[in-house]
Structure 1
Amino acid sequence: MPGYANEAGWKSETERPAFTAKNRLRFLRDYQKRAVQALQDAVAEGRSRFLFEMATGTGKTLTAAAVIKLFLRTGNAQRVLFLVDRLELEDQANKAFVVYLKNDYTSVIYKERRDEWRKAEIVVTTVQSLLFNDKYQRLFSPTDFDLVISDEAHRSIGGNARAVFEYFVGYKLGLTATPKDYLKQFDSKKSNTRDPRELERRLLLDTYRTFGCESGEPTFRYSLLDGVREGFLVNPLVVDARSDITTQLLSEKGYAVAVADDDGKEATESFYQKDFEKKFFSEATNRLFCETFMRNALRDPVSGEIGKSIVFAVSQNHAAKLTQIFNELADAFFSGKYQSDFAVQVTSLIPEAQQFTINFANNKLLGSANFEENYRTSKARICVTVGMMTTGYDCPDILNLAMMRPIFSPQDFVQIKGRGTRKHDFLELLFDPVMKQQLGKQEKTRFKLFDFFANCEYFEEKFNYDEVLKLPQPQSGEKPELPPLPPSGAFQYGGADTLAAFGEHQIGERGMKIDRMFFNKFEEQAQGDTALKTLVENAQWDQAADYVHRHLFDKPKEFFS
């Protein structure tokens, strides 16, 4: 609505909120405008590849829509390809583009309009769809798309997917919520490694190179800390819950079990957190996890039922166990309200799992309005998943996340935590004016992050962000030394388990250490400045402080302070 400012509904400040909502007007926030302007500046410098590093919940899709409109309106693109790496993200992105751009342009999902996609300005598809039988080469010309946007770029251009991305000529924009600063460096002169962090870092560095950011600086960055500080995102209330069993699994000695060796003699075998639900199984521990969650989860402020939640399990089998326990507990906690539809397993082996994720976000998974007929919210309250709902999944009314598994990847941890950081107005889906008035303002100001394996502590205190990863170099003529085999066999614990420790801690504006790693770049930049180094070595502290203020602070790209 280009003429919105001249409408009476906009001119009246009292009517403006209702006018904006009725006409679904969307305005770019200041930082989203800065992202678009940063891209324009990059084009002016002759660049054709760009990377936006924006925290989960800061509107990457809306910003992408603005970029698309800019390119189409100015004639710099006739058609845009938007690449995602999962089916539910395909549907999510296309719906967003239809809402944002329907008055100007047509957006379609390729597989739904195979014969008519040329009639649309925006084509959304999964990378896998174009890769199948080399479809991208057989059915498309390299010049069919003038702008290619890769959502969750660190995932959708990995491996074979790179071929699809590079096939099309023209401008390339990558979107990612995962900064590269979690892992410092690795010794690239060595040939290979078993350390997954090295692979993760290579993937992130490769993402930066692919989008023309060899310096390691994205075209535009907006972090979780920025979003929290400016009131657009929320930080978690961490619930640290440890049982007798997990406390032992987390210890240096592990959970020791007496077993018989090959000769029939008694031996000791130890299990650790990485073995949980892989080699070490405990029904009592899983039940304790679920009971602790049910008693402490945040409630929906309108209906009073347990807030929408995502639980992350070790494996598909583990997800099935947890789903069953949750449904049993729901029958006990809320008699007659749920018929095994309180919790739903959402993993790749479950038919319709992709649709489940969409229905959960749209508040109609297995029904809706279970407690309050005028309030639309999903009847199913918990999705139990392994990896399907970790990245790019947009569901702002999530109130609880539970890590019922150990996590060792900083990227996975950030993505899981990011599922809860979006703000939400719960009154949007309440259609009873009287109730709205009675309840007053009901905005999401926090979410609970249940941590049953001390993951937050690990990334705050134990994970070595500065470690230089040394990769093993096989000697010529010799076989590389392999790590010892893990202990053989599985152990089924049949006893009871009780809560050993329980605590809640609200994360403040300063964020978690993993959120602050961005500031390590200031340290690197300062230490790499030879003029500053000379002043420090000569103990010229006043001059050094003045130099920092004049040369390092408040520069347009970083805004260190």
Structure 2
Amino acid sequence: MDKKKLTERDICTKYILPAIKKAGWDIHSQIREEVQLTAGRVIVRGQMGLRSKGKRADFVLYHKPNMPLAIIEAKKNTLPIAAGMQQGLSYADLLEVPFIFSSNGDGFIFHDKTGLSSQVEQELSLEQFPSHTELWQKYQQWKGYQAQELETITQDYYEDGSGKSPRYYQVHAINKMVEAVVKGEDRALLVMATGTGKTYTAFQIIWRLWKADIKKRILFLADRNILVDQTKTNDFKPFGTAMTKITGRKIDTSYEIFLSLYQAITGPEEEQKAYKQFSPEFFDLIVIDECHRGSAADDSAWREILDYFNTATHVGLTATPKETEEVSNSTYFGDPVYTYSLKQGIDDGFLAPYKVVRIDLDKDLQGWRPTKDQYDKNGALIADRIYNQQDFDRTLVIEERTQLVAKIISDHLKATDPMAKTIVFCQDIDHANRMRQALVNENPEQVAKNRKYVMKITGDDTEGKAELDNFIDPEQAYPVIATTSELMSTGVDAKTCKLIILDQRIKSMTKFKQVIGRGTRIDEDYGKLWFTIMDFKKATELFADEDFDGEAEVIYQPKGGDSTVPPEDEEDDDTDSNNSQGSDDSYTDGSGGLGDGIDEPPKKYIVKGVSVKVVSERVQYIGSDGKLITESLKDYTSKTVKQEYATLNDFLRKWNDTDQKQAVIEELEEQGVIWQALEDEVGKDYGAFDLICHIVYGQPPLTRKERADQVRKRDIFSKYGEQAQKVLEALLEKYADEGITPIENVAVLKVQPFSEMGRPIELIKGFGGKAQYQQAVKDLEQVLYS
């Protein structure tokens, strides 16, 4: 057997796997092959989304399924033994494992990151591969595990038999939190971007601690009913009869896992404080979902629950840790035990990227001033001043502005996908109601098909709230458009949402991240790989803030200091909950009791007959560095291709030297070139070769038909027999119609018009055999692109 001729996969099967097994590793529980680590980043351009190739390790070695130890990266034998090391090191960084091996089948290069060996890298023969015991003992020493901690630290996570297992970052989060609890930390914070499975991760943490019998009674706290119900029905379902949801003032304390709303166990009156039915030492662990909200403030009416159960371990979960001068997650919970950011989730392909459409309206930029002694629609005298974007839909309503926004939204949906799930974030309930009506009037055909095409889903609307489950259910087509204010900004698992409209003034980074999070989930079955943010209120300027997706800086000032809340935070609180028509949220922020009334609302003027126009519109995409860039499809393609092929000659050399042109096409696709989007913009009659030569290198393009006609003029078919000439002519016609891909696959001979000429084996015989047929196709391609 010539080892040099073996594929990478053959090297794995014939040399690497036998070496691992010979070292004593269990093939069933300790060795996994071709492990998909990331899903592959989604590249968005135009109306197209393309998933790039994800990261996949050739081998991962485990102590147990929840504890990876080593990476093995394989290469063909024609490459050096260390050729896979750098790739293996990058995978090891993802999995946070200290042992990395590279092999070409001749032996191994072993990289040890523990610092416990005399050499960082050394060469081993196939027979010298280390045993599981050797690596596991060194791993324990590296991690500093104590013997009494091992039973809990190595406790298995829950498996339901479906094959679903935690993603690599969820494994990190689970392991790090379990380790923190085992080492005695009484408060711990877990930060994971919306859509990355916080609740599933929390379930696995609780499951392992519960099964290890070190946390026997657990309370899961949230401040919205939908969060508790989703948790109980979905991720926490395996707890079965050991779990209960607290619903009444009389609590059955015989369960082990309790789920509750804050509101269900406390209130301003002493008789409402049902949590006192438990003894202060009853719970061993309390998990606080969305901990940036209610319980974050020191003087929250809900913080008293945590203070009462102060002997329990408190674990906070959030996508958006809150750090203001009055509220601090980090001051209470400490620095995050683990953080998985939105940027990392998008890079890995587990979260949907976004494009931003920023729309500026003239009155928003220039402002509007009433005429002298002008009255509004309701007969109120309008205060004489200049009203601008900050005022619109808060203190002053311009009806034409609402109608224009509704028209822009509707036009976008009609041009892309009229059934794309859409959330319109409005200033308040009144604004959400007016926006619903405007959208209904813009979409009469859709509303005639189903009256629920547009629904207002706010806390005050029973029928609207009843449709929330249908909106987030991928199997339910209606409602399509939801107008809201606060109710849908957090805790709503709307993974099919493709369009988010921001017509609400947002200054809080915490809230902005939560709103954006409504679109970050991916649902490939639904065709949801990315989403669009349409911004009318400059909210997306927060993307440029250095705090976006960065570390939250602690600026908390304990009570008694002379610091005050910054004006923008005050304004955002006003926007969120104290506006003229009230918030649609079903919770309070916890800073002043439960369900306190709203203060006397300010006057809201309503005017009609004002001309409102679009001044500018910009489309921006999220770049590889996580920042928004304004870039055309052609510019993006040119920059991407030139990273691979700096000059036209470089590209031509690669194209001409490659036997299968499709390989070059797929390679560029993996780099983010979206062919269908280019065809839509440049022309569908051009092949991949001409699209690149024209867009990237400025060459005049030829259509596929023009290239085919050039071949016919050169009379290259005459050297073949009659049947072979007919096949080549048909291949040329197939190229003109469909491009290079089908003619490179011999399976094309099974379809029309070839199937009418004879069986594939007969057609190939007309060339003298398969090798001669393949050479004829190569010659045809050479002339096509000469």
Mapped to 2, the partners of 1:219 and 1:297 lie a distance apart of: 42
2:477 to 378, 387, 396: 378
Mapped to 1, the partners of 2:524 and 2:462 lie a distance apart of: 32
2:459 to 348, 368, 376: 348
Report the alpha carbon displacement of residue 354 of structure 1 after superposing the two structures with TM.
Answer: 4.3
Alignment match, 1:294: 410
Mapped to 2, the partners of 1:497 and 1:463 lie a distance apart of: 34
Aligned partner of 1:141: which letter?
S
Alignment match, 2:38: none
Alignment match, 1:273: 389
Indicate the SS of the match to 2:493: coil
Alignment match, 1:553: none
After superposition, the C-alpha distances for 1:386-408 in whole angstroms (9 at most, x for unaligned) are 11111222121111111112211
Alignment match, 1:518: none
- Note closer, same or farther for the CA distance 1:343–1:106 as it changes in structure 2 (3 Å cut): farther
Aligned 8 A contact 2:249 2:264 in 1: no
1:126 matches 2:261: yes
Indicate the SS of the match to 2:448: coil
Quick check: which has more Rg, 1 or 2? 2
Aligned partner of 1:227: which letter?
G
Alignment match, 2:441: 328
Alignment match, 2:346: 228
Indicate the SS of the match to 2:266: helix
- Note closer, same or farther for the CA distance 1:451–1:97 as it changes in structure 2 (3 Å cut): same
Indicate the SS of the match to 1:97: coil
Aligned 8 A contact 1:239 1:451 in 2: yes
Alignment match, 1:496: 611
- Note closer, same or farther for the CA distance 1:409–1:38 as it changes in structure 2 (3 Å cut): same
Q: Where does the alignment leave 5 or more consecutive residues of structure 1 unmatched?
A: 14-20, 184-199, 249-253, 364-375, 428-441, 475-485, 514-561
- Note closer, same or farther for the CA distance 1:50–1:383 as it changes in structure 2 (3 Å cut): same
Instruction: Map 1:59-208; keep pairs closer than 5 Å.
Output: 59-99=197-237, 101-102=238-239, 106-111=242-247, 116=252, 118-119=254-255, 121-132=256-267, 133-157=271-295, 158=297, 159-168=300-309, 169-180=311-322, 200-203=324-327, 205=328, 207-208=329-330
Report the alpha carbon displacement of residue 113 of structure 1 after superposing the two structures with TM.
Answer: 11
Alignment match, 2:332: 210
Report the alpha carbon displacement of residue 311 of structure 1 after superposing the two structures with TM.
Answer: 0.9
1:38 matches 2:171: no
Aligned 8 A contact 1:298 1:448 in 2: no
Indicate the SS of the match to 1:255: coil
RMSD: 3.7
2:490 to 391, 394, 409: 391
Report the alpha carbon displacement of residue 42 of structure 1 after superposing the two structures with TM.
Answer: 2.1
Alignment match, 2:420: 307
Report the alpha carbon displacement of residue 468 of structure 1 after superposing the two structures with TM.
Answer: 9.0
Mapped to 2, the partners of 1:309 and 1:127 lie a distance apart of: 30
Q: Where does the alignment leave 5 or more consecutive residues of structure 2 unmatched?
A: 1-26, 36-158, 375-381, 565-600, 629-786
- Note closer, same or farther for the CA distance 1:350–1:41 as it changes in structure 2 (3 Å cut): same
- Note closer, same or farther for the CA distance 1:234–1:489 as it changes in structure 2 (3 Å cut): closer
Aligned partner of 2:441: which letter?
E
- Note closer, same or farther for the CA distance 1:110–1:267 as it changes in structure 2 (3 Å cut): closer
Alignment match, 2:625: 510
After superposition, the C-alpha distances for 1:95-151 in whole angstroms (9 at most, x for unaligned) are 12344x25x7643322179665623x3221111111133433442222332111000
Alignment match, 1:544: none
TM-score of the pair, normalised by structure 1: 0.67
Report the alpha carbon displacement of residue 167 of structure 1 after superposing the two structures with TM.
Answer: 1.6
After superposition, the C-alpha distances for 1:223-247 in whole angstroms (9 at most, x for unaligned) are 1111111111122111111222223
406-415 vs 52-61, which moves further:
406-415
Indicate the SS of the match to 2:455: strand
Aligned partner of 2:286: which letter?
V
Mapped to 1, the partners of 2:274 and 2:249 lie a distance apart of: 15
- Note closer, same or farther for the CA distance 1:457–1:473 as it changes in structure 2 (3 Å cut): closer
Aligned partner of 1:285: which letter?
R
Alignment match, 1:400: 499
Aligned partner of 1:456: which letter?
T
After superposition, the C-alpha distances for 1:333-357 in whole angstroms (9 at most, x for unaligned) are x363122x11111122112554432
Report the alpha carbon displacement of residue 469 of structure 1 after superposing the two structures with TM.
Answer: 11
The count of aligned residue pairs is 422
Q: Which has the higher contact order (CA 8 A, sep 6+)?
A: 1
Alignment match, 2:355: 237
Alignment match, 1:420: 519
- Note closer, same or farther for the CA distance 1:497–1:126 as it changes in structure 2 (3 Å cut): same
Indicate the SS of the match to 2:529: coil
165-174 vs 347-356, which moves further:
347-356
Report the alpha carbon displacement of residue 458 of structure 1 after superposing the two structures with TM.
Answer: 5.4
- Note closer, same or farther for the CA distance 1:395–1:118 as it changes in structure 2 (3 Å cut): farther
Alignment match, 1:455: 539
